[in-house]
């Protein structure tokens, strides 16, 4: 009779697959990176399949890994569903800056659901400064935000590079006012971009104002304007035309987690949240 799959090992595979990192998976599980590697080797040996391609810089699923991933999610979810009667559903109130998540919110939620299924997330998306006000007033338990100049608390998760993105067909003639797609005020990225252009003596005009990063990205895709965006949130096919037009470089944004220390369960949830956002 074939040996049953070890669910802890399957969960380790799921963490590595969702986070694309042995280091972050080890941090989340509270074990060493070598222990994670050993668990994955045992699982691959048990299945007789190579599930992951490992290089010094990347972790990728193989074709067999892609086929096993939904089965791994189903196994872990079934096991956790069977234990849900042991404790009430966990809840976490979080705020996420629109400039951090953009239109990738669905991917983030899928990742969190895979890592901590059964958790009820109360999530709001907005401007960093507004989310920090909500955090300070106790309305949310944690916030993932761009660092504000007057804040010194929090844990840095990553640094996002910014550029001036436009659709390939969008033509901007050097010397003409740059047509911009911006978020409505108050927005830190909007303020930084306008200030940078002003300091460089470059004329600009509003061509589109959106209520969220997804709307601004859509304006870029439609060819309406140039937008200051994090490179990881720039729409597919767009390009950074800043160097071509001599536009001033935009500073990297420090992405911070601000959270209250909670009990063991909430602490683990916040650790999972941090792992999902690390660079």
Domain for residue 202, yes or no?
yes
Q: Do both 189 and 202 map to the same domain?
A: yes
Q: Do both 147 and 261 map to the same domain?
A: yes
For residue 206, pLDDT over 90 is answered with yes
Q: Do both 247 and 186 map to the same domain?
A: yes
For residue 196, pLDDT over 80 is answered with yes
Confidence at 272, pLDDT banded by 50, 70, 90:
confident
Taking residue 38's Cβ as centre, other Cβ atoms within 10 Å add up to 14
d(CA 104, CA 99): 11
Give tens-digit pLDDT for 122-166: 899 988 889 999 999 999 989 999 887 677 788 888 899 999 999
**Which residue, among 165, 277, 169, 177, has the nearest Cα to 216 in the 3D structure?**
165
pLDDT score of 279: 60
Q: Do both 198 and 268 map to the same domain?
A: no
Average the pLDDT over 240-264 and give the result.
86
Q: What is the mean pLDDT of the chain?
A: 85
Q: Do both 166 and 247 map to the same domain?
A: yes
What are the tokens at 255? Answer: 């992405």
**Which residue, among 191, 249, 248, 180, has the nearest Cα to 216 in the 3D structure?**
180
Q: Do both 27 and 48 map to the same domain?
A: yes
Range picked from 19-33, 35-49, 68-82, 114-128 for highest mean pLDDT: 35-49
Question: With b meaning 16 or more CB within 10 Å and e meaning fewer, what string describes 75-90?
Answer: bbeeeeeeeeeeeeee
Average the pLDDT over 61-79 and give the result.
86
Confidence at 90, pLDDT banded by 50, 70, 90:
confident
pLDDT score of 155: 86
Q: Number of helices and strands (H, E) in the chain?
A: 11, 12
d(CA 54, CA 216): 36
**Domain limits for position 200:** 162-251
Taking residue 225's Cβ as centre, other Cβ atoms within 10 Å add up to 24
Q: Read off the CATH number of the domain in which 241 is found.
A: 3.40.190.10
Task: Indicate the residue among 85, 112, 139 that finishes a domain.
Answer: 85
CB contact set of 199 (below 8 Å; sequence gap of 6+): 248
pLDDT score of 188: 84
Q: Do both 107 and 142 map to the same domain?
A: yes
CA contacts within 13 A on the Cβ side of 47: 22
CA angle 142, 17, 215 (to 5 degrees): 55
pLDDT score of 149: 66
For residue 264, pLDDT over 80 is answered with no
What are the tokens at 65? Answer: 């890994």
List the beta strands (DSSP E) in 39-126: 52-54, 59-61, 91-97, 120-126
Domain for residue 1, yes or no?
no
Task: Indicate the residue among 61, 85, 109 that finishes a domain.
Answer: 85
Q: Do both 127 and 171 map to the same domain?
A: no
Average the pLDDT over 4-15 and give the result.
84
Q: Do both 91 and 220 map to the same domain?
A: no
pLDDT score of 3: 67
Q: Do both 188 and 129 map to the same domain?
A: no
Burial class (CB in 10 A: 0-12, 13-18, 19+), 261: exposed
Question: What percentage of the chain reaches a pLDDT higher than 90?
Answer: 33
| Beta pairing, strands 155-160 & 204-210 | unpaired
Confidence at 239, pLDDT banded by 50, 70, 90:
very high
Q: Do both 216 and 136 map to the same domain?
A: no
For residue 82, pLDDT over 80 is answered with no
Q: Read off the CATH number of the domain in which 48 is found.
A: 1.10.10.10
Instruction: Please say whether the beta carbons of 141 and 93 come within 8 A.
Output: yes
For residue 113, pLDDT over 80 is answered with no
pLDDT score of 1: 41
**Which residue, among 44, 39, 48, has the nearest Cα to 9 in the 3D structure?**
39
pLDDT score of 54: 81
Taking residue 170's Cβ as centre, other Cβ atoms within 10 Å add up to 18
Q: Do both 229 and 181 map to the same domain?
A: yes
Domain for residue 2, yes or no?
no
Task: Indicate the residue among 30, 59, 85 that finishes a domain.
Answer: 85
Domain for residue 266, yes or no?
yes
| Beta pairing, strands 239-240 & 162-166 | antiparallel
The total number of structural domains that make up the chain: 3
């Amino acid at each position: 009779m074939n040996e049953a799959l070890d669910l802890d090992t399957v969960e380790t595979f799921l963490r590595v697959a969702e986070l694309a990192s042995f280091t972050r998976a080890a941090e989340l599980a509270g074990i060493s990176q070598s222990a994670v590697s050993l668990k994955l080797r045992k699982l691959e040996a048990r299945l007789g399949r190579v599930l992951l391609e490992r290089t010094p810089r990347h972790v990728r699923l193989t074709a067999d890994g892609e086929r096993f991933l939904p089965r791994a999610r189903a196994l872990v979810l079934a096991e956790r569903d069977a234990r849900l009667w042991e404790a009430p559903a966990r809840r976490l109130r979080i705020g996420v800056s629109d400039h951090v998540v953009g239109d990738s919110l669905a991917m983030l939620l899928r990742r969190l659901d895979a890592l901590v299924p059964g958790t009820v997330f109360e999530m709001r998306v907005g401007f960093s400064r507004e989310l920090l006000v909500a955090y300070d007033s106790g309305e949310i338990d944690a916030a993932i935000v761009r660092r504000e100049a007057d804040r010194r608390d929090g844990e840095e998760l990553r640094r996002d590079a910014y550029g001036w993105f436009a659709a390939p067909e969008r033509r901007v003639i050097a010397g003409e006012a740059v047509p911009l797609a911006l978020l409505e005020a108050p927005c830190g990225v909007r303020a930084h971009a306008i200030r940078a252009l002003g300091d460089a003596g470059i004329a600009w005009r509003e061509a589109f104002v959106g209520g969220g990063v997804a709307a601004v990205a859509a304006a870029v895709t439609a060819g309406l304007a140039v937008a200051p965006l994090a490179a990881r949130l720039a729409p597919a096919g767009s390009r950074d035309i800043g160097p071509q037009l001599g536009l001033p470089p935009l500073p990297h944004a420090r992405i911070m987690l601000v959270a209250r220390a909670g009990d063991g369960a909430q602490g683990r949830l916040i650790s999972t949240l941090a792992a999902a956002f690390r660079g």
